[in-house]
Chain A
């Protein structure tokens, strides 16, 4: 397996994989999933995990919704740090959802180390008992809580601990995979930051954001209620089943922030947190490029701009051509503008704006494969109401100021803004990216 290759960037995998397999003298097929090196690496993870004495043990609550976050045993605030329990894996996403500049610590734990099953497009299929947490926190100017929060960078994890000085923990959302499906539970951190308490009706927390440029902006931070969790996580409006959104291949396919030199998917594979089923072996997976701009040239690939249906794209591949799907890092200025913008819209919009999502009523699809009017190009609104901002189309090429998409990202009016929930301030940097992307588009709407 490609764990041998320490190149974490997927975009280079094709070349490096070739080299690696030449060196190893083995093919992907022959190597399988239990490559010796993977085992070694996995063992190294275990050793490092075991060197810490866990203070709490992860616990799957099959039926009850415990009152306290600590009852799940995934993370605990102790000794001025947020501590990850044994077996709990932190992860992050190439391009995350914007949540009023809150920083996020994501963790996943599966019972008995069972793996999730890989899926090229959807969230991985996690085993019953899986617990995913997402903790929202802000840098603060003072250690004492004043409601003042700042823009900042996510804090690193060292020795399985995240230091809490000059940080305020706001809430931790728990997604738990039970027998009947996923449940979503919001926990709000208490005043002394010792634990978080289940708050199914959500909360509103007044804050004042200081942006990097020094501008201050009061806003009301919203902790969603348990039904509102479904507003985003029921990504299929017909089944209404709650699903994780972040743990998809295209979001996780990035250099690991927690295991230097490794791709995050490799990390998961090596840990045994992820595996392939016989049906979705990468050798058979969808060859569809995620973004037309990213499509490498070659006979096996589609032409840029082609919308390739999943069936058409699902041609057997050999090892050399295999790529995991990958979204760009929206903030990576070396990546193509369109790839960054589409990654941003995917992460922030496609949980509703997908062909079966709650926003399928609008006809707007912001998943990576969508194109043309379906993804907003010269697309008239359906039921946007005053969410149009008086503009004619979702995207008017070259004219961000005429594009509804930009208006809905800029406004903070609850009746007009997008996303509908989870944002109270404008993501200036995200807006700038989408503006630049639209400004660079050619063509006109008739």
Chain B
């Protein structure tokens, strides 16, 4: 079975949720101040290392993207609901704020309705993102920008207490980075709530991911500068991620079935533990190779490892979920495996095993009470999907150490 063909549009429940979201978001916003644009742009241009740029309370309108290229700058607002930068009238620029600098801190502000990504931070070290809200107001829709908070190719990153709403790709998206702590954030009504992609050493904890299409994703994509490994996903609340996939065809997340709690694709050494994962209607946890991810494998570099391995699921609280999977294929699978009134097991695995490995126990270990693994049997065209009750996943991997932030972020 191909996960990319599993998705089918529009559940009644998802539609209801959309309406609810719509209703919530339609409070009239105060008119925004357009005169501040020049001021802030000038401050960003003239910034010097050590500067703190304070953004006052208010709603400020921008028609162009902002950018910062100077190391050592802090941007600080009065609160994520008090200092609001709105880009609803944006006519140019692919981001709201683009930062290409190190030793950067941004906190206590909101970036709304950008045409592309809201906050992108590219190639920096020692980055702190704290209490930042990125949001596309109105209902979740494909026309929304792709990423809410998007650090890429950064080292030593702390993202905490932030909020991402409505991204048409990923709300909190950490790409091609190293040494990352993502904690106590909230992601809702995005296609992917939190996505860790091609990143080494990430701790993702204390977050709430709800009402996304997929709650927390840990992906490796081919043909990038670095693969990724060693992500710990723990102590999160990941529930009711059942919003219809509104990502555009062709994107990596467009193939994520609505109702996915945690999705691991092609990544290695991923620990999923102590989470509260419930009521994700396709499956609470999905583990897949790139072959059933909907990602293109054309021209995949020889050294890219398409198989997940060392995925360790333990001590999570699972409840509900798997009862109304996304798409006819998965619905049929559910009926075949669990009957019309049953539900899919908590862990869905595509069944691919790296030929270099010993077997399924090298791919996926589950020490999680009653939780069971469904092997979808994708390598054999899903001919014999089966619940693995033979103990092959009753195993354990060595636990990963905690990520320690370093340098100026040490001890945070």
Contact = CB atoms under 8 A, between A and B. Distances in A.
B368 interface: no
Interface residues of B, number: 54
A424 B303 CA distance: 40
A200 B296 contact: no
Contacts of A225: 41, 45, 64, 67
A373 B223 contact: yes
A354 to B, nearest CB: 13
Given A200-B45, A222-B64, A388 B249 contact: yes
B392 interface: no
B122 A358 contact: yes
B298 A378 contact: yes
Q: Which residue among B41, B100, B152, B298 has the maximum number of chain A CB atoms within 10 Å of its CB?
A: B298
Interface in A109-128: none
Contacts of B44: 227
A421 B169 contact: no
A237 B122 contact: yes
A51 interface: no
Nearest to A202: B64
Interface string B90-102: 1111100010100
B239 interface: no
Interface string B127-142: 0000000000000001
B248 A390 contact: yes
Interface stretch (B13-21, B24-32, B112-120): B112-120
B175 interface: yes
Contact of B298 (A386, A387, A393): A393
Interface stretch (B143-151, B310-318, B351-359): B143-151
A385 B147 contact: yes
A88 B252 CA distance: 50
Contacts of A231: 67, 98
User: Interface residues of A: mostly helix, strand, loop or mixed?
Assistant: loop
A381 B250 contact: yes
A234 interface: yes
Interface residues of A, number: 51
Interface string B245-268: 001111110000000000000000
A227 B67 contact: yes
Given A227-B45, A391-B250, A382 B145 contact: no
A361 B175 contact: yes
Given A378-B299, A424-B91, A361 B67 contact: no
Contact of B100 (A200, A220, A237, A377): A237
B68 A227 contact: yes
Given A231-B98, A372-B299, A386 B252 contact: no
Nearest to A378: B298
B241 interface: no
Given A230-B100, A360-B153, A380-B295, 11 more contacts: A230-B67, A363-B223, A373-B223, A379-B296, A383-B150, A386-B247, A390-B248, A393-B250, A393-B298, A415-B116, A417-B94
12 contacts: A228-B67, A237-B122, A240-B69, A380-B298, A381-B250, A381-B252, A383-B169, A385-B116, A386-B144, A414-B92, A415-B117, A421-B65
